[in-house]
Amino acid sequence: MTEPIRPSTVLPAHRTPFTLTTEDGQTLIGEVSSPIENPTTALLCLHPNPSGGGMMDSHIYKKAANRLPAMAGVTIVRFNTRGTTSEAGTSTGAYDGGKDEKYDVQAAINYCFDVLKVAELWIVGWSFGTELALCHARDPRIKGLILLSPPLMKVEESDLQFWAHDGRPITALIPEYDDYLKPDEARKRFAVIPQLELIAVDGAKHLWVGEPYVHRVLSEITRIIAPSRLPLPTELEI
């Protein structure tokens, strides 16, 4: 017998809370969800804007942590940027609109390589998190970027030029009905980055609400970072 995967589905994984300290002295809280067997790669999640309720438990990332370690062998690393609260607790400091969050991003990257000893690391940003990725996730150890609903509100042309010259792979998932950047405008803004793969997702909105869109996002992430583990199941054996 089978049952459908639901928003509340939690699959087996090792789940470990952690704290890390930034260069400017803030303490950030997070959680690592790692596969019990057959690991493939690691993914660091940069969450949406905390001023709008974004945090490490924002639903796409929570579902990634609940599913992808078992489904795709992916280690999922989530954390709250400065001043952000989730069920796991509150990171110290104050929200800085993406400026001092540069210290948070680098501390999390260092944690993945220096403490977790990951062999490779991808970055996924969602909304505000895409701005953190494009502006601050430039560590040469990073494999590439995945951008969910990028608003490109605080990203400068020089940031896009950096990635154009850098050459590492970037994939952007753009909802058809996004609140900030729809597919046609995204194609214009991202045209400067020749290696960027832009995927327009029909019917989707900025927050990717609904299980079909969650499955699409998690499948695209897996296609990029652990393609041998596709297709992701939509049902579970019981």
Q: Where are the chain's structural domains?
A: 29-227
Question: What single DSSP character describes residue 37?
Answer: S
Q: Which amino acid is at 7?
A: P
Task: Give the tens place of pLDDT for each residue, 28-45.
Answer: 999 999 999 999 999 999
pLDDT value at position 71?
A: 98
Residue 135 has pLDDT above 90, yes or no: yes
Q: Cβ–Cβ contacts within 10 Å for residue 212, how many?
A: 12
User: Using CA atoms, how far apart are residues 238 and 231, in angstroms rounded to an integer?
Assistant: 19
User: Using CA atoms, how far apart are residues 236 and 1, in angstroms rounded to an integer?
Assistant: 8
pLDDT value at position 238?
A: 78
Alpha helix positions (H), 38-125 = 59-72, 101-110
Percent of the residues in the chain that have a pLDDT greater than 70, as a whole number: 100
pLDDT value at position 1?
A: 87
pLDDT value at position 210?
A: 96
Distances (CA, A) of 89 to 57, 92, 153: 11, 10, 28
Residue 59 has pLDDT above 90, yes or no: yes
- Topology annotation, domain 29-227: Rossmann fold (3.40.50)
Which residues, 6 or more positions from 68, have their beta carbon under 8 angstroms from its beta carbon? 33, 43, 74, 76, 218, 221, 222
Mean pLDDT to the nearest integer, 130-134? 98
User: Using CA atoms, how far apart are residues 89 and 73, in angstroms rounded to an integer?
Assistant: 27
Residue 221 has pLDDT above 90, yes or no: yes
Nearest to 16 by CA among 6, 30, 31: 31
Question: What single DSSP character describes residue 129?
Answer: H
Structural tokens at position 217: 């996002």
Task: Give the tens place of pLDDT for each residue, 76-107.
Answer: 999 999 999 999 999 999 999 999 999 999 99
Structural tokens at position 236: 């579970």
**Band (237; pLDDT cuts 50, 70, 90):** confident
CB 150 within 8 A of CB 172: yes
Structural tokens at position 44: 């660091």
Query: What value does the mean pLDDT of the chain take?
Result: 97
User: Using CA atoms, how far apart are residues 168 and 145, in angstroms rounded to an integer?
Assistant: 8
